[in-house]
Amino acid sequence: MRALTRFLATALVLAALGAVAGYAYLKMTGLRGQPEPGVLETRVARAARGLAIPGDMRSRTNPLASSADALAPGLEHFAKYCTMCHANDGSGRKTAIGNGLYPKPPDLRAAATQDLTDGELFYIIENGVRFTGMPAFGTGQSSPAGDQQVWQLVYFIRHLPRITPAEIAWMEGINPL
């Protein structure tokens, strides 16, 4: 009984400290969408995202990884549906919608994205990321055509660090108005 009482008292003190820290954080930053998340918030969010992706999904590899034919359809899909937040170059900057999101869309060319496995990218595109602006593009039911489209996007995201000015110009011609 004494151990239970000590545990409950400790839990109550920790909860109170957490509440005070959370209140102080909100007073300092507010709930505005303009600031960049801090280092701690970013690490916690990435860790939570990593824990949320099932292991069998994480270990999947892109079946189109050796198919250069996947680039054009991936580029086209990205230009039509992803650039409004992620920009044509994948930077996530200077877009009408992306600028207002919190957290901001990630730079898809950066190591934080490029170091994700193919399966993690697939899962994120298919299921979205809760508490961000990243919607789920999947229907919740796998289909060969839908899976192929997502794998084409994964292929294109892998290509973003090497995107050329000509490819960006082509994308600008098919971006939504």
List, for residues 129-138, the tens digit of each pLDDT value: 888 889 998 8
Rounded mean pLDDT of the chain? 89
32 pLDDT more than 80: no
pTM of the model: 0.79
Q: For the chain, which residues make up each domain, given as ranges?
A: 54-174
- Residue of 158, 136, 131, 160 whose CA lies nearest to 146: 136
- Top-confidence residue, 124 or 47: 124
Determine the Cα–Cα distance for residues 125 and 138; give it in Å rounded to an integer. Answer: 7
Closest-CA residue to 166 (of 75, 80, 92)? 75
Architecture of the domain defined by 54-174 = Orthogonal Bundle (1.10)
